[in-house]
């Protein structure tokens, strides 16, 4: 969706009011508008976009904070997708906290070093305080150095802290201990700055603080092994992950399933599917209902858990299972977490009914552990929504497509961006 721009009402000095392109509030007074000042020859002049994209001060302050603190970006440009006008850091100083401003300045310094000396070598990060240090001599033989920020010794080649009187070689016992620890915990060194990096969650494509993107699994630059990194991510036991989302709008549609659906049987499913880890959000008040929430293709139960844990709903227990990992035709044959296999999203797609039945049976097993007086429901997003609607259809029919009975009466089904398979 594009920006909603103001209609300009001109006075002698320009705009009387404006519409913010981020929060979309209209008829805001002009004093709330962000002005991008640049100091040119000791004269302040406004540096505006060619299309005059207008934003309020509050939204720009939040935008800068997210860009700098969360994403570590040194260059902050106009939020409009097709605009390349950069923000002047001095004009933004009063909008952000001192901590964010200092971080922004540090990122600008690092980007200047990177632009001058390139990404390969000649700069490291202190292992004690993370200060960026430039090896201006360019001598690979230099090992012992003192950080100008924290004044602690470390090896410039190994990136390992040293004691004052320690005699160090790059193959010393402490180095081996550190390398063993890194190997045991699965850390990977960035191929650009040689810094050890730990992935706590997310995909295998890592963006290091030096700006280099590399594959966490193989240790290569991202462009060299992107397909293999994605395939490996899907095959392994997925770490808890969730995408960074700034605005989430969820519409809940309570739906009743009427009539008897006609089931069809198509492509076979692997003999045994191993479902992943199940995450549970306990009710914060009196337990009145239990809902099994099913994630979309390629996600896992933890991504749903993180969102549902933050909801202000006190009386519902949320069960967030993880789908099995299996080859998916719609993903080009790559393995991914999926509730069933499907070739495409067309209405006449050959849906794998065995996979549907296996997933619905797994949901039924999770609900079977709940007390009899608790209301039961299912819900989901995307492919998970399809399973939720199919489970509701099976509850109305009283059986699965393979003829086996469905054991539960469902009080509600929640569908977000989904469809009823084979409807």
104 domain-assigned = no
Q: How many separate domains does the chain show?
A: 4
What CATH number did the domain enclosing 37 receive?
Answer: 3.30.40.10
Answer yes or no: do 145 and 207 share one domain.
no
Q: CA 35, CA 342: separation in Å to the nearest integer?
A: 51
In a domain, 359, yes or no: yes
Residues 297 and 408 in one domain: yes
Does 423 reside within a domain? no
If asked whether residues 229 and 299 sit together in one domain, one would say no
Same domain for 216 and 198:
yes
**Residue 308 and residue 203 share a domain:** no
Contacts of 380 (CB under 8 A, 6+ apart): 293, 294, 295, 296, 386, 387, 388, 414, 415, 416, 418
- State which residues form the domain around 291: 279-416
Nearest to 63 by CA among 87, 43, 40: 87
264, part of any domain: no
CB environment 180-199: b (16+ within 10 A), e (fewer): eeeeeeebbbbbbbbbbbee
CA distances from 357 to 174, 176, 273, 292, 392 (A): 55, 51, 12, 16, 12
User: pLDDT tens per residue, the chain (423 residues)?
Assistant: 333 333 333 333 445 788 888 888 888 888 888 887 655 544 445 556 655 778 888 888 888 888 887 777 776 778 877 777 777 777 788 888 888 888 888 888 777 766 666 544 566 778 787 777 776 665 556 667 788 888 888 877 777 777 766 566 666 556 666 667 777 777 787 777 677 788 776 667 777 766 677 777 667 765 544 444 444 443 333 333 333 233 223 333 333 333 333 333 334 444 467 898 899 999 988 999 999 999 988 888 888 888 888 888 889 999 999 999 888 887 777 788 899 888 776 666 677 788 888 999 999 999 988 988 899 999 999 889 999 998 988 888 888 877 888 888 888 899 888 888 876
Regarding whether 198 and 152 lie in a shared domain, the answer is no
Residues 376, 285: Cα–Cα separation, whole Å: 17
Alpha-carbon span 418 to 401, nearest angstrom? 20
Q: Is residue 328 in a domain?
A: yes
Residue 410 shares a structural domain with residue 287: yes
Q: Do 84 and 126 fall into the same domain?
A: no
Residue where a domain terminates, one of 99, 126, 141: 99
Residue 387, judged by CB atoms within 10 A of its CB (0-12, 13-18, 19+), counts as buried
Alpha helices in 87-153 (DSSP H): 98-117
Same domain, 191 and 317: no
pLDDT at residue 241 in the model:
32
> Is residue 295 a part of any domain in this protein?
yes
For residue 321, give the CATH number of its domain.
Answer: 3.40.50.1820
Q: Which two tokens stand for residue 375?
A: 């209301």
Q: What pLDDT, on the 0 to 100 scale, is given for residue 226?
A: 42
Asked whether residue 342 falls in the same domain as residue 407, the answer is yes
Say which residues have a Cβ less than 8 Å from residue 11's Cβ, sequence separation at least 6.
none
**What is the radius of gyration, based on Cα positions, of the chain?**
28
- Please report whether residue 421 resides in a domain: no
């Amino acid at each position: 969706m594009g920006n909603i721009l103001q209609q300009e009402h001109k006075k002698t000095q320009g705009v009387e009011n404006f519409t913010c392109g981020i929060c979309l509030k209209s008829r805001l007074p002009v004093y709330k508008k962000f002005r991008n000042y640049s100091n040119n020859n000791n004269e302040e002049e406004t540096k505006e976009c060619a299309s005059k994209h207008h934003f309020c001060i509050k939204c720009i302050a939040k935008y800068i904070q997210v860009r700098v603190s969360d994403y570590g970006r040194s260059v902050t440009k106009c939020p409009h997708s097709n605009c390349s006008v950069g923000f002047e850091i001095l004009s933004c100083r009063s909008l952000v906290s001192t901590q964010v401003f200092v971080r922004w300045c540090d990122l600008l310094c690092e980007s200047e070093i990177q632009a001058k000396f390139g990404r390969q070598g000649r700069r490291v990060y202190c292992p004690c305080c993370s200060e960026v240090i430039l090896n201006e001599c360019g001598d690979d033989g230099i090992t012992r150095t003192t950080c100008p920020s924290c004044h602690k010794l470390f090896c410039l080649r190994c990136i390992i802290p040293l004691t004052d009187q320690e005699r160090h070689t790059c193959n010393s016992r402490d180095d081996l201990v550190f390398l063993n620890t890194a190997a045991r915990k699965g850390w990977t060194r960035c191929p650009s700055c040689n810094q050890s990096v730990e992935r706590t969650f997310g995909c295998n494509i890592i963006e290091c603080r030096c700006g280099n993107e590399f594959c966490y699994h193989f240790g290569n630059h991202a462009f060299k092994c992107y397909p293999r990194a994605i395939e490996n991510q899907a095959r392994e036991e997925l770490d808890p992950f969730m995408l960074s989302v700034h605005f989430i709008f969820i519409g809940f549609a309570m739906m009743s399933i009427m009539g008897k659906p006609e089931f069809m049987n198509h492509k076979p499913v692997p003999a045994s599917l191993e479902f992943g880890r199940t995450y549970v959000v306990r009710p914060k008040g009196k337990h009145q209902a239990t809902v099994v929430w099913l994630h979309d293709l390629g996600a896992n139960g933890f991504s749903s858990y993180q969102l549902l844990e933050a909801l202000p709903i006190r009386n519902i227990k949320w069960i967030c299972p993880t789908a099995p990992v299996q080859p998916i035709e719609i993903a080009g044959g790559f393995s991914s977490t999926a509730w069933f296999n499907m070739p495409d999203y067309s209405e006449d797609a050959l849906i794998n009914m065995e996979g549907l039945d296996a997933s619905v049976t797994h949901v039924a097993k999770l609900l079977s552990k709940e007390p009899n007086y608790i209301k039961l429901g299912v819900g989901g997003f995307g492919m998970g929504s399809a399973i939720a609607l199919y489970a509701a259809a099976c509850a109305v029919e009283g059986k699965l497509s393979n003829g086996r009975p469905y054991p539960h009466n469902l009080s509600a089904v929640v569908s977000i961006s989904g469809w009823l398979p084979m409807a």
